[in-house]
Chains A and B, each alone.
Chain A
């Protein structure tokens, strides 16, 4: 009988593989690859919005907190739309929101913040747009979630309810 055991095992084995492949066919295969490679934030120094003083990235981003870097501009219409979400997120204790004011006039930017409130803990200036490039930004608005100097998440375009939920989930 010994000789019959191996074949039956083989056949059962291949049969199982068949079942798994068969089930695999039914699954959807449209997946987006998860990028686990968490990129480090760039080192930079920039002028502060309130008093034009120089500040370096090490002074802004500390290790113990979550940060949300939001690239915005007063001339950018979607930035207005996403503003309420920033204000909502600004209430979180363990999250600091950093504004990166992109290619903007100071007067207009101030008015924007007066009209819509200021959710930002710190705002830095990027008058000629080079800082945004260092961050690898595609455009305005764009938001980065940062923890321990690593970019955990990048949201291209305005924030919406879904992305806010995801951010809340991560910083919990």
Chain B
């Protein structure tokens, strides 16, 4: 019954979509006022998707195994919380969530753009509906979440245990709020071109959307990263896995877009940049969906390896790309002469320079992620692109990027001379000296790392100084840049100073090296509702005689039968202690991995600071209006 309600809500939702398209086109031709029937239809459509979504949640809560999605991804012994989050822990459910966010955003857009011109609103609605229709058909045709199984199985197959985790429960919704937010930017820019509304007002209107999506995206990526850190047991936070890269690409595009829009708002230049970036943020998000959901790339996130689905998204994606290219080429009139020329020593130049850097980073990531596909198709060689590729190509360019990030905000719009040149140079010398002193105690590649570290320190000091000195007109930018410098610093120190011990131990044994001793003291076994847990107790003693006790855990899930390893992490302000254990086959030995990860928590904190920067910019805008 519930399944039927969910399914028919989707069908009716699709029909309403078609009627919205019809109404919009009619409204476009022969009226001066925005047709209120469109608003009503959009509200109804949103309501129907909500009904559909909640009926799926209800099926999950009731463990209704006559529903194929529930059968594949749930189990009666799971705790209620994971039954609910299991709703979006699979391909069908997560697409339904995507659709929900898509319609929600359209609704919010309509309510927040009352003062915008009619044509622009209609065009935006129209383009957004094209996306909505695409997803409705995709959902109903290839990934229906309400497929019926008969006879009803007694027990489900269970949610993948590594997804049974609080951070991962909220990670998809937050990330989707970011990804799908870009759809509004996409529709709105196409709408603005069609209605010839690419103006200052439009820019400040759409900037809020860009910042909002960016905040959610950043936060979503952060959650995913934290999860990978403690759950996957590799002790890192970023692995250049295709799916991580896919989330990074729209992120980079969004950051660039936010900067470009700011320039556009102030000076009405860079309009093509703004348009191309607005289009590419969404196409990159969609491209991510395609790469992940088609199974063309292998990664921890590939739920579904169904070529039919892949083909559908591919066609849909390229339809959108071609549509936007055509609209951009034929409808975009750049007649309003771009005001004035760009003086080299100005804020806009420095933003433009950093945009080029961002585009470079973006293309490195894009190339690294898709190159294996291209190579395989053309030469049928299989390769995988790993961290060294990204590090080699990105790190050297980070140096000028960081320095420009520090100096750029000091410049004024249009034309300026740097004041306090001496101050800025002094800061650089100080940063260089500090880095030099630090690096001489660490054994890594000296010259390159010293310069990289000093440019990070430079940004750090310059933005830190601005907190105390500046009037608060650039507060959000300052916070975000400060957070970024902190992020780079934490990542660098984390990389330089991490230590790792991998050894095999059995109960009662200990491992001794010159600066620490790890003893395996005992092993406890517990039974919890849907898994068995083995908790090891390890005593770690460092050379100073400080001891720490860590309890890494192995979980043996009953359904599906999978062993996961839960790291035990002792978090402190300066350094995390991280330990995992794993089975060694047919032995009483366990494989122990012990790591010290300095400044780990600062990576999370600095990312949060960056998000706060974005958030304050939203508040500021609202204040001004």
Chain A interface residues toward B at CB < 8 A: 7, 10-11, 14, 18, 20-27, 29-31, 33-34, 133, 138-139
Q: A24-B373, A25-B314 given as contacts; is B295 within 8 A of A138 (CB)?
A: no
* B376 x A24 contact (CB < 8 A): yes
* A7 x B329 contact (CB < 8 A): yes
Closest chain A CB from B579 CB (angstroms): 19
Please list 12 pairs of residues, one from A and one from B, whose beta carbons are closer than 8 Å in the complex, sorted by A's number: A10-B325, A14-B325, A20-B373, A21-B296, A21-B314, A22-B311, A24-B296, A24-B373, A29-B298, A133-B584, A133-B587, A138-B586
Which residues of B sit under 8 angstroms from A30, Cβ to Cβ? Answer: 298
Closest chain B CB from A6 CB (angstroms): 8
Tell me the nearest residue of chain A to B325, going by C-beta. A10
* A21 x B373 contact (CB < 8 A): yes
* A139 x B321 contact (CB < 8 A): no
* Those 3 A-B pairs whose CB atoms lie nearest each other, nearest first: A138-B585, A24-B373, A23-B377
Tell me the nearest residue of chain A to B383, going by C-beta. A34
Indicate whether B204 reaches chain A with its CB closer than 8 angstroms.
Answer: no
Which residues of A sit under 8 angstroms from B384, Cβ to Cβ? Answer: 33-34
User: Of A10, A21, A27, A138, which is within 8 A of B290 by CB?
Assistant: A21
Indicate whether B446 reaches chain A with its CB closer than 8 angstroms.
Answer: no
* B584 x A25 contact (CB < 8 A): no
User: Of A11, A29, A33, which is within 8 A of B296 by CB?
Assistant: A29
Complex Cα distance A11/B322, Å? Answer: 7
Q: Is the interface of A mostly helix, strand, loop or mixed?
A: helix
* A25 x B294 contact (CB < 8 A): yes
Q: A20-B377, A24-B377 given as contacts; is B311 within 8 A of A139 (CB)?
A: no
* B322 x A14 contact (CB < 8 A): yes
Tell me the nearest residue of chain A to B505, going by C-beta. A133
* B586 x A139 contact (CB < 8 A): yes
* A18 x B325 contact (CB < 8 A): no
Tell me the nearest residue of chain B to A6, going by C-beta. B329
Tell me the nearest residue of chain B to A33, going by C-beta. B384
Tell me the nearest residue of chain B to A23, going by C-beta. B377
* 8 other A-B residue contacts (CB within 8 Å) besides A18-B314, A27-B296, A133-B584: A11-B322, A14-B322, A20-B377, A25-B307, A27-B376, A27-B377, A29-B298, A138-B585
Indicate whether B382 reaches chain A with its CB closer than 8 angstroms.
Answer: yes
Which residues of A sit under 8 angstroms from B589, Cβ to Cβ? Answer: 133
Closest chain B CB from A145 CB (angstroms): 20
Complex Cα distance A71/B176, Å? Answer: 51
Interface residues of B in 270-312 (CB under 8 A from A): 290, 294-298, 305, 307, 310-311
Indicate whether B318 reaches chain A with its CB closer than 8 angstroms.
Answer: yes
Complex Cα distance A26/B308, Å? Answer: 10
Indicate whether B504 reaches chain A with its CB closer than 8 angstroms.
Answer: yes
Q: A11-B325, A18-B314, A133-B504 given as contacts; is B296 within 8 A of A25 (CB)?
A: yes
Complex Cα distance A149/B296, Å? Answer: 37
Which residues of A sit under 8 angstroms from B586, Cβ to Cβ? Answer: 138-139
Which residues of A sit under 8 angstroms from B297, Cβ to Cβ? Answer: 29
Which residues of B sit under 8 angstroms from A139, Cβ to Cβ? Answer: 585-587
Closest chain B CB from A88 CB (angstroms): 27
Complex Cα distance A21/B310, Å? Answer: 9
Which residues of A sit under 8 angstroms from B310, Cβ to Cβ? Answer: 25
Complex Cα distance A26/B306, Å? Answer: 10
Indicate whether B239 reaches chain A with its CB closer than 8 angstroms.
Answer: no
* A29 x B295 contact (CB < 8 A): yes
Q: A11-B325, A21-B314 given as contacts; is B298 within 8 A of A31 (CB)?
A: yes
Tell me the nearest residue of chain A to B298, going by C-beta. A29
Complex Cα distance A166/B297, Å? Answer: 27
* B295 x A14 contact (CB < 8 A): no
Which residues of A sit under 8 angstroms from B318, Cβ to Cβ? Answer: 14, 18
Tell me the nearest residue of chain B to A22, going by C-beta. B314
Tell me the nearest residue of chain B to A27, going by C-beta. B376
Complex Cα distance A20/B297, Å? Answer: 13
Indicate whether B344 reaches chain A with its CB closer than 8 angstroms.
Answer: no
Which residues of A sit under 8 angstroms from B325, Cβ to Cβ? Answer: 7, 10-11, 14
